[in-house]
């Protein structure tokens, strides 16, 4: 009976097609007895990425493990074949002799912990800069200028940057999103 336990597996997929595959599997779970009795969860860990486009802060979701889909399932009979034969699926990670290898419990806990951690730190952003570091301004009226970080205000997520304008050093206050590392 131990062969019929729920275990976590990793499906390899074409990068960028993970969400389509997940959506398809979830649709099949809801309408098909074959999938519904054997496939229980489909997870794609994602992280939020902040970008500035046309002067506006945009939040995008990016796959934390591009090209991989985590599936909790009982893989017996034709379930293995069904999952492997989906469009854009390459196969199972670690498959030996055609038999998928389940993740170890420690790997599952780490992966599930990472998913929870990413959900909790939704709006948190680490301080990606240090004092004295060279940066390039990528947004605002000083777009294209280079400067050196003089001070960091973590609460407001602002940087005091010294930029050379017409041969003179000028202090600017810029947000994290307006600069990038050189």
Together in a domain, 88 and 140 = no
Q: CA 76, CA 149: separation in Å to the nearest integer?
A: 58
Asked whether residue 110 is domain-assigned, the answer is yes
1 exposed, middle or buried (CB, 10 Å; 0-12, 13-18, 19+)? exposed
Q: Does residue 69 sit in the same domain as residue 149?
A: no
Residue range of the domain that includes 141: 134-181
Q: Model pTM?
A: 0.60
Q: Kindly state whether residues 85 and 111 are assigned to the same domain.
A: yes
Are residues 99 and 16 part of one domain?
Answer: yes
User: What is the C-alpha to C-alpha distance for residues 135 and 103, in angstroms, rounded to an integer?
Assistant: 42
Which tens digit of pLDDT belongs to each residue from 109-138?
A: 887 776 666 665 555 555 678 889 999 988
Which sign, positive or negative, has the C-alpha torsion 16, 18, 23, 28? Answer: positive
> What CATH number should be reported for the domain holding residue 57?
3.30.70.940
Rounded Cα gap, residues 10 and 102, in angstroms: 8
Cα separation, 72 vs 39, in Å, equals 6
Sheet arrangement for strand 134-137: 168-175, 158-165, 146-153, 134-137, 179-181
Tell me the pLDDT tens digit for each residue of 83-117: 888 899 998 888 777 788 888 888 888 877 766 66
How many structural domains does the chain have? 2
How does pLDDT run across 14-42, given as a tens digit for each residue? 988 899 999 988 888 888 766 778 888 89
Task: Retrieve residue 11's tokens.
Answer: 């499906």
Residues 73 and 22 in one domain: yes
Per the domain annotation, does 128 fall within a domain? no
Residues 138, 65 share a domain: no
How does the average pLDDT of the chain come out, rounded? 82
Same structural domain for residues 144 and 112?
A: no
Give a yes or no: residue 31 inside a domain. yes
What CATH number does residue 153 fall under?
Answer: 2.30.30.30
């Amino acid at each position: 009976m131990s062969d019929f336990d729920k275990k976590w597996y990793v499906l390899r997929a074409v990068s960028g097609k993970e969400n389509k595959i997940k959506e398809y599997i979830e649709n099949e779970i809801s309408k098909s007895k074959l999938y519904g009795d054997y496939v229980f969860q489909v997870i794609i860990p994602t992280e939020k990425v902040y970008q500035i486009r046309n002067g506006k802060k945009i939040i995008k979701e990016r796959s934390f493990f591009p090209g991989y889909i985590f599936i909790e399932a009982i893989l017996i009979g034709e379930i293995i074949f069904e999952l492997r034969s989906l469009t854009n699926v390459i196969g199972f990670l670690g498959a030996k002799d055609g038999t998928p290898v389940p993740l170890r419990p420690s790997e599952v806990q780490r992966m599930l912990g990472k998913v929870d951690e990413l959900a909790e730190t939704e709006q948190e952003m680490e301080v990606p800069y240090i004092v004295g570091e060279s940066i390039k301004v990528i947004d605002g009226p000083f777009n294209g200028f280079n400067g050196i970080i003089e001070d960091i205000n973590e609460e407001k997520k602002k940087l005091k940057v010294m930029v050379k304008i017409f041969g003179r050093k000028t202090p600017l206050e810029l947000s994290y999103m307006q600069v990038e590392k050189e």
